[in-house]
Amino acid sequence: MARISGVEVPGKKHVGVALRYIYGIGPTMSQKILAQVGVNPEVDTDELTEEEINRLREVIDKEYIVEGELRKEINVNIKRLIEIGSYRGSRHRFNLPVRGQRTRTNARTRRGSRQTVAGRGKKRGVAKK
């Protein structure tokens, strides 16, 4: 197991897939990094030499924002949106979907489990006797 950017990258996987375990690196960025370093994406992580691992570390550390630094930057951006009072900031503040999704139905992941409201039952529209 190689340690890159403070993350234990799995050894039994192809390097192209293993790099995705680092927060901030997805499929496209993984392919770009491997092309830049000159490593075959089909090779397992265990089969990499120390020199190749060191080149991967250097490229990722120098040219890309990943892991804790990226998380901090995202949090700072969200706090800035909240402070300036933008619409997106207010959606973040109230824990609602930010990118225009509907909330009348769906949005359960973001809004949480259903909360019961008094006076709202199944007997809606039924006349009293």
CATH no. for residue 26?
A: 1.10.8.50
Structural domain for 31, as ranges: 2-65
Is there a single domain that holds both residue 16 and residue 44?
yes
Q: Which of 10, 24, 13 is nearest to 63 (CA)?
A: 24
Judged against a pLDDT cut of 80, whether residue 129 lies above it is answered with no
List, for residues 23-54, the tens digit of each pLDDT value: 999 999 999 999 999 999 999 999 999 999 99
Q: Which of 31, 47, 65 is the last residue of a domain?
A: 65
In a domain, 117, yes or no: no
In a domain, 128, yes or no: no
List, for residues 56-114, the tens digit of each pLDDT value: 999 999 999 999 999 999 999 999 999 999 999 999 999 999 999 999 899 899 998 98
Least confident of 10-14, 29-33, 63-67, 118-122: 118-122
Whether 111 and 98 have beta carbons less than 8 Å apart is answered as no
Total domains in the chain come to: 2
Is there a single domain that holds both residue 7 and residue 61?
yes
pLDDT given at position 127: 66
DSSP for residue 113 = S
Is there a single domain that holds both residue 39 and residue 7?
yes
Could you give the 3-state DSSP secondary structure of residue 65? coil
Indicate the residue type of 1. M
